[in-house]
Structure 1
Amino acid sequence: MASDVNGGVELSVVIPTHEDAQCLELTLRSLCRQSLAPERFEVIVVRDGGDAGDYTDVADAGKGLNLRLIELAERQGRAAARNAGVRHATADLLLFLDSDSYATPELLARHLTHHLDTDRPAVLIGRRDELGLPHVNAALAGEPTIRVPNRRADGGGDLRFPAGYPAGEEWLQAGWMFAFTHNVSVSRELIDEVGGFDERFGLRWGLEDIELFYRVHKHLGLLERNFAYDDAAAAYHLPHHRNIDRNWQDFADNRGLAAEKDLVVEWEFVGMLEAYDSAERVVHYRASIADCLARSACRIGPAVELLPPYLPGHRVLWIGTGSDRTTLPEGALTFDYAAPAGPTNYHLIGMNPPIAPGSLDAVVSVDFWRYLRWDDLCQFINVAGALAGEVHLVSTGAALSGAVDPDASTFGYLTRVLRTAFGTAVSEVDGLGTVLRLRPHLPPAAATE
């Protein structure tokens, strides 16, 4: 994705547009009011097909800007439009905005200042508040800032933070989940290194941006702090027509595409919960995996050796670490977080794995189940019970950080609380530990060829 031209500007603002000239004009006018001197940035607008006649006033709206309009003859989708914008960018730093992102005066300066300090995280996420119809006149009048409510429940706020800005910064460990291209900046070099936006998302709505920033995060290191958030790098989301039903269907399709590319814990929770709740879980389970590996814990080898007499067959999903140090029977699958991901080994928690219902004889989790939050543990055993006739939760007694340390009373409680859905039994296996066996009252459907 080499640049077509060379330039001396410090910041390239990339904006895709499709049949929303009324929003784009307001956004360009807001960029004309930036505190950052106009010679220090350029604006690249990529018209993604559609009727060019609607854009006759765009040049006037952007008068005074270093503005270029790139036209794609046929609509190709947001990913392709942004890639085209990146190819035409001349600056080392990119700021992605949407055509309906009405910018506050300090927006560009905040992004540029962040990146001038090379010790700061590589990606800066800005705020974007929702504008309802009561606030449109303020934008039409060219007001630089607009007073809007801080919460979604009150008709405003940032859609990513329905209850207001989250406390602390731990959530930024999964900051890619919030890196929507309506207000996010990153170096051109990083975008090139990860291959740009995936154009296979096509015309569908959603996820092409956070999928890109997941790859940025993975490229820089999953346990590194690669994202920062600046509440003062703010924009407003102009109201426009939305087909919510179609958007959610597009989102579901795109989620499937993204999850297939990376069978990892990060994508298990995208779309299942609010973004912040999903990010919390990703951060928690990444830390759990790191703890497990640091302690050389959750070893499946002893279970592979000692559990077979207790299992109904050899088609088993083994969850833990150390699959390379034991001999697995034919038909076995693993969630081994210490081994490379591959066709039979996924780095998943087990919320919705790509495994056919009824295709396994058993699912065995060695200690890792102890890290799961209660809601996730319930989801895990429900899903596992649909995959196999039995679920075995093994506790070796190993010390783990942030995990339950179950004793006899804990297992007693579990047998009672889970027996509405499962037949339960607890046994002690010499050389291994305590095993809670769960057999679903409704047996899993047989897998079909």
Structure 2
Amino acid sequence: MAARTDDTVELSVVVPTHQDAQCLAPTLRSLTRQTLDPERFEVVVIRDGGSPAGYAGIAGAADGIDLRLLEFPERRGRAAARNEAVRHTRAPLLLFLDADSYTSPQLLERHLAHHVVAGRPPVLLGRRDELSVAHVEAALDGKELTDVPRRRADGGGDLRFPHGEPPGPEWLRVGWLFSYTHNISLARELFDRVGGFDERFGLRWGLEDIELFYRVHKHLGVTGLHFAYDDEARAYHLPHHRNIDRNWADFAANRELVAEPVIEWEFYGMLEVYDSVERIVHYRSAVTDCVRQGTCRIGPAVARLADRLPGPRVLWVGTGSTEADLPAEALTFDYGAPPGPTNHHLIGMNPPIAPGSLDAVVSVDFWRYLRWDDLCQFVNVAGQLAGEVRLVRTDDPGTAALPPGPAGLDYVRRALDAAFTTDLTRVDGLGDVLTLRPLPVPSGQAGT
């Protein structure tokens, strides 16, 4: 995708549309009322198949701005449509909107102002509040919308922020989770570098934008701060028809298509997005802590536990697996080694490992970073993968500050007695080892 640039055009607005001309017209009219000089931006709209009925005269809604209209005769999906539109852009900066993104007058100017300052995060997310039918007439009249509620509970708000405001600043470290293409900008060069939208999504709904910006996040480094948010860069989501059941079915299929065996995708879609953010940030920090300190080392545990385990098919969780003499049947969650077919960077909530395929699962200190509900999920899942789970609390002074200590470990043992037989032993040269073996599920209680 070689970029075509024009010195006078600084920002290209990309808008896909399919059977939503009723939304596109007010959106285009809102772009004619921008505070940014119209000579400094262009708008590229692509109609993704469907009937042209309703689009006749649509260009009249964009009177006074540089508008380019493209179309696919047959529908190909939003990923392909956006990629095609980008190929026809001229500016070094891309702003993605949807056909139903009614813009505030300062929107384009705020996006451009962010990117002209060197050193700022390369992706800017703007706000998009939901419009109820009560506000549609104001949008159709071309008015600036100043009284739209900021909370979901009040019939408005940004769907990403149910309580009105974004969470505390750490959420931007995983800003890709919030990167919907209804109000987001980045450099054309960065878009090209990560390969644009993945067109395998086809006609299914959802995730093509999240997946693109996950690749941006990964390309720039998963621990860096690559996303910024501007609450004053606002757009408003015009009402349109939705088929929620079909959307969620599409979402599930798309997640299976793109999810990688890494911490970020492990928590995406399982929980409310705030909880996902908190967990991803927490566990990325834990991984960084282990790798930096050289703790949670698998090697000493292999040396002292391997001959006590029921077989060689063991999942070892920690760091430093290259220091251990692991058999070919072993798997690892070694956060200090590159991910690969036998080394996933996961916590263990739902790993791509067949139930009953392992002899044991061993976590070396890393289990001590887990939140309680995640620890319960980890041992429950591990107990399905193998008949034996071992939680190792080493004597490594680098992890001495991690809970639980000896008393806390005994409490964990007693708490897990409800679902496992438990055995807490001391292993010389290693530390304390809590062995868990799943109890049979009483008849009639499976799945509870």
Residue type at the aligned position of 1:48: D
- Residue 227 of structure 2 corresponds to which residue in structure 1? 227
1:50 maps to 50
The answer to whether structure 1 residue 165 and structure 2 residue 165 are counterparts is yes
155-164 vs 37-46, which moves further: 155-164
**SS of the residue aligned with 1:411?**
helix
Rounded Cα–Cα distance in structure 1 between residues aligned with 2:56 and 2:109: 29
Matched, 1:442 2:444: no
In structure 1, the residue matched to 2:265 is 267
Contact 1:135 1:146 in 2 (8 A): no
Residue-by-residue CA offset, 1:16-52 (whole Å, 9 max, x unaligned): 1111111111111111111111111000001111111
One-letter amino acid matched to 1:220 = L
Equivalences for residues 210-359 of structure 1 within 5 A? 210-259=210-259, 262-359=260-357
Measure the CA separation in 2 of the matches of 1:217 and 1:208: 14
TM-score normalised per structure 1: 0.95
Match of 1:408 in 2: 406
Aligned AA for 1:397? D
Offset at residue 401 of structure 1 (A): 7.6
Residue segments in structure 2 that go unaligned for 5+ positions in a row: 442-448
- Which residue of 2 is the match for residue 208 of structure 1? 208
Contact 2:315 / 2:330 at 8 angstroms: preserved in 1?
Answer: yes
Deviation, 1:439, is 1.1
2:397 and 2:243 map into 1 onto residues whose CA distance is: 50
Q: Contact (CA 8 Å) 1:351, 1:379: kept in 2 or not?
A: yes
Q: CA deviation at 1:139?
A: 1.1
In structure 1, runs of 5+ residues without a counterpart are 444-449
Contact 1:371 1:403 in 2 (8 A): no
Partner amino acid, structure 2, of 1:365: S
Name the structure 2 match of 1:118. 118
Counterparts of 2:316 and 2:99, CA distance in 1: 48
CA 1:315/1:141 → structure 2, altered by over 3 Å: closer, same or farther? same
Question: Aligned in 2, Cα 1:238/1:403: closer, same or farther, shift over 3 Å?
Answer: farther
The counterpart of 1:362, out of the listed 347, 354, 360, is 360
CA drift of 1:53 comes to 2.1
Q: Aligned-residue CA RMSD in angstroms?
A: 1.5
Give 4+ residue runs of structure 1 displaced > 6 Å after superposition. none
Deviation at 1:220, TM superposition (A): 1.2
The answer for the alignment partner of 1:95 in structure 2 is 95
Question: Mean Cα displacement is larger for which, 177-186 or 3-12?
Answer: 3-12
Secondary structure of 2:203's aligned partner: coil
Query: Over residues 289-315 of structure 1, what are the superposed CA-to-partner deviations in whole Å (9 max), with x where a residue is unaligned?
Result: 111001001110111111123322211
| Aligned equivalents of 1:438, 1:151: Cα separation in 2 | 45
Kindly provide the amino acid, as one letter, of the partner of residue 232 in structure 2: A
- Residue equivalent to 1:79: 79
- Determine the structure 2 residue equivalent to 1:381: 379
CA contact (8 A) 1:9 1:91 kept: yes
CA positional deviation for 1:255 = 1.0
Number of residue pairs the alignment of both structures matches: 441
| Helix, strand or coil at the partner of 2:105 | coil
Is this contact kept in 1: 2:365–2:399, CA < 8 A?
no
Distance 1:408 1:357, change over 3 A: same
TM-score, normalising length: structure 2? 0.95
Aligned counterparts of 2:358 and 2:83: Cα–Cα separation in 1? 43
Deviations 1:349-402 (A, max 9, x none): 111111111111111110111111112111111111111111111111335689
Alpha-carbon distance in 2 for matches of 1:316, 1:185: 45
Q: Any idea what SS the aligned residue of 2:47 has?
A: strand
**Deviation of residue 407 (structure 1)?**
2.1
Aligned to 1:447: none
Does structure 1 residue 144 correspond to structure 2 residue 144? yes
Instruction: For 1:24 and 1:357, locate their aligned partners in 2 and report how far apart those are by CA, in whole Å.
Output: 49
Distance in 2, matches of 1:329 and 1:129, equals: 54
Of the structure 1 ranges 76-85 and 396-405, higher mean CA displacement relative to structure 2 is found in 396-405
Question: Offset at 1:4?
Answer: 5.7
Cα pair 1:177 1:275 within 8 Å, conserved: yes
